[in-house]
Amino acid sequence: MPAPLELRLAIRLSDTPDGPHHDFSLVASEGVLADGSTVPDPQAALAAVLRYGEGIFFPKPGPPRICTQQYGGPQRAVITGTFGGRQVHTELSLTDGCEIARWRALAPLLGGTAT
């Protein structure tokens, strides 16, 4: 996938619904890290985002997914910003197998907190 012209993401991670949150950011221009990234490992976070591309933020409609019914915990992440000029607003959780897979795919973007 070609690198997005601009990438500016804000990540808010909560361990529990009413608990404290952690804020991170990832900023890139022409697919190269730019000033302002605060995720613990910006290179790994950028690599994860570029690996999965826009599909991780903008899934295409398709047949219903069959997800394992498992619960990974109360953690939530909200990702907002822009990816290649498109507005991003997506939420990640650990509510079933499909969501756990998305969480793990973007672990570096979430501060490496995925399990």
- Is there a domain that residue 1 lies in? no
The mean per-residue pLDDT over the stretch 25-49 comes to 94
Three-state SS at 7: strand
Give per-residue pLDDT as tens, 86-108.
Answer: 999 999 999 999 899 999 999 99
More confident residue, 8 or 61: 8
- What local confidence, expressed as pLDDT, does residue 115 receive? 43
- What local confidence, expressed as pLDDT, does residue 88 receive? 95
- Is there a domain that residue 46 lies in? yes
- Is there a domain that residue 115 lies in? no
- Is there a domain that residue 90 lies in? yes
- Is there a domain that residue 42 lies in? yes
CATH number at residue 31: 3.30.350.10
For the entire predicted model, the pTM comes to 0.85
- What local confidence, expressed as pLDDT, does residue 2 receive? 56
- For 89, the domain range is 6-110
- What local confidence, expressed as pLDDT, does residue 36 receive? 94
- Is there a domain that residue 70 lies in? yes
Q: pLDDT tier at 28 (50, 70, 90 boundaries)?
A: very high
Say how many domains are in the chain: 1
Say if residues 43 and 27 touch (Cβ distance below 8 Å). Answer: no
The percent of residues in the chain predicted with pLDDT above 90, rounded, is: 59
- Is there a domain that residue 20 lies in? yes
- Is there a domain that residue 32 lies in? yes
Residue 110 has pLDDT above 80, yes or no: yes
43, amino acid identity: Q
Measured distance CA(48)–CA(61) in Å, rounded:
22
Measured distance CA(88)–CA(57) in Å, rounded:
7
Give per-residue pLDDT as tens, 40-65.
Answer: 999 999 999 999 888 888 877 777 88
